A and B are shown apart, each in its own frame.
Chain A
Amino acid sequence: MKYLSEYRDPAIARGLVKRIRARASRPWTLMEVCGGQTHTIVRQGLDELLEGAVEMIHGPGCPVCVTPLEQIDRALYLAAREDVIFTSFGDMLRVPGSHCDLLQIRARGGNIQVVYSPLDALEIARRNPGREVVFFAVGFETTAPANAMAVWRARELGITNFSMLVSHVTVPPAMTAILDAPDNRVQGFLAAGHVCTVMGWTEYEPIARTYRVPIVVTGFEPLDLLEGMLMCVNQLEEGRYDVENQYVRSVKREGTPRARGIVEQVFRLVDRSWRGIGEVPASGLGLRPEFADFDAERRFALDSIRATEPAECHAGDVLRGKLKPMECPAFGTRCTPERPLGAPMVSSEGACAAYYNYGRYRSTAAAAT
């Protein structure tokens, strides 16, 4: 535990809170993009410490949460097929589809295997040549290099019974979609540190310039977040709109070039639906035509599976920052981590689960009355 102290020191945190408060001549509205950051902010109550100076809107930074219902339903269809071994990261198993979730399909006899790495899924395919092995490729830019390599390897090793249901999303187009919304309130962004470790921050430079918003690449620990907020507030107060890097111990401007390289070779930008946000042009990654053989949507003709988001779940408003989780009528009653209506209540990186797990529904609901 000795290592914790440096980035957790309450005295340093109090100092940063004081500096942000002193610097903010008016309340500023910032958005953190990464679900891990949301988790820390809510857990440590950083937003409450800064009330009146900085309002944090929680962005759509949880890959589980933004995966559209349609892709979940397609996953459920594949997982129920007798000829398929369906493989997935563990946190997709409890995400509700239109009628059930992957865990329920597994209980009914579906062959669903949790993998840690997409290369595990490829190995399952190699060991089961008589079965179709499908991997559910979700995530932001942090998982894209891994998933790209699995496809690359499948082709290299001639493994033909392997395919991917791809639902990859990328961060910068979601930021511009939020900024383009007519009722946008976001004045500055804390960009996701680990996404930038892979991708660097050159993609953010035109966004900062065009939309005149400061963007600060920020880590996910409490002091990282406070420092990122201070850097953002400093820029706003000075009328600067630059990309700055708070997370210098992990992020370089060019990111990790080799990882970026293989992502570009395997994937291309495609239009992608985000749960709650809708279709955002060029906001997702899909397989390039030369890897189309590994595309599960094509192999299993999944186009006919369509879905409509349930009306009772307000995940979309939460993911766009229009609604705080506890303002949702279903929050904590008909929607809990045990019985989630929507993905933000499933994943530990989801805003609804963070609010629920840290008892936000009690204190804030009481304070609001």
Chain B
Amino acid sequence: MCLGIPGRIVEMHDDRGLAMGTVDFGGIRREVCLQYVTDEVGVGDYAIVHVGFAISKVEEAEAHRTFEVLREMSELQELDWMREVADRSLDGWAGGAA
């Protein structure tokens, strides 16, 4: 959980005052909090994401490379946690369906 995973921001929205967005992690899509990086990112940008929170913007080539390195290191367990959450159909909750 100490190595953030890079992903591409495909959509951004506001959830009751909190900046959220959908981020694509090598094909797996997830709601992510963008509150800490709203000034620096837009749709199409890449960000390093720690447990559902984007922490910093990252260049596309760097994002792809880091993702592959993490895959090689088998350090992508967080993607499995995302799947567990998705299996309980929690994945769509942050889309504003309060």
Contact = CB atoms under 8 A, between A and B. Distances in A.
Contacts of B50: 142-143, 145-146, 194, 198
A85 B82 CA distance: 18
B8 interface: no
B17 to A, nearest CB: 8
B4 A142 contact: yes
B52 A120 contact: yes
A43 B81 CA distance: 24
A221 B73 CA distance: 10
Interface stretch (A3-11, A266-274, A277-285): A3-11
A197 B64 contact: no
Given A119-B33, A153-B18, A192-B2, A146 B52 contact: yes
A249 interface: yes
A34 B88 contact: no
Interface in A312-369: 348-349
Interface stretch (A108-116, A174-182, A231-239, A292-300): A108-116
Interface string A71-94: 000000000000000000111000
Nearest to A259: B36
Interface in A153-189: 153, 156-157
B78 A194 contact: no
A25 B79 CA distance: 45
Nearest to B79: A116
B2 A123 contact: no
Contact of A116 (B17, B65, B81): B81
A39 B58 CA distance: 23
A153 B94 CA distance: 13
A8 B72 CA distance: 12
Interface residues of A, number: 55
A61 interface: yes
Contacts, number: 146
Interface in A203-251: 220-221, 249-250
Contact of A258 (B3, B35, B77): B35
Interface in B49-91: 50-53, 55-56, 58-59, 61-62, 64-66, 68-69, 72-75, 77-78, 80-82, 84-85, 88, 90
Contacts of B59: 249
Contacts of A89: 1, 51, 78, 81
A194 B3 contact: yes
Nearest to A252: B56
B65 A142 contact: no
Given A123-B94, A348-B75, A3 B81 contact: no
Main secondary structure of the interface of B (DSSP, over half): mixed
A272 B59 CA distance: 37
A189 B18 CA distance: 37
A114 B2 contact: no
A124 B73 CA distance: 31
A146 B17 CA distance: 16
B48 A194 contact: yes
A9 to B, nearest CB: 12
Given A250-B58, A256-B56, A117 B33 contact: yes
Contact of B55 (A39, A259, A349): A259
A348 B74 contact: yes
A183 to B, nearest CB: 27
Given A4-B68, A7-B65, A115 B81 contact: yes
Given A1-B68, A36-B2, A220-B3, 4 more contacts: A3-B68, A7-B65, A89-B51, A145-B36
28 contacts: A7-B65, A63-B1, A63-B2, A64-B1, A89-B51, A91-B77, A114-B84, A116-B82, A119-B31, A119-B52, A119-B94, A120-B85, A123-B93, A139-B1, A142-B2, A143-B51, A146-B51, A156-B17, A194-B2, A197-B48, A197-B56, A256-B37, A259-B53, A262-B36, A348-B73, A348-B74, A348-B75, A349-B2
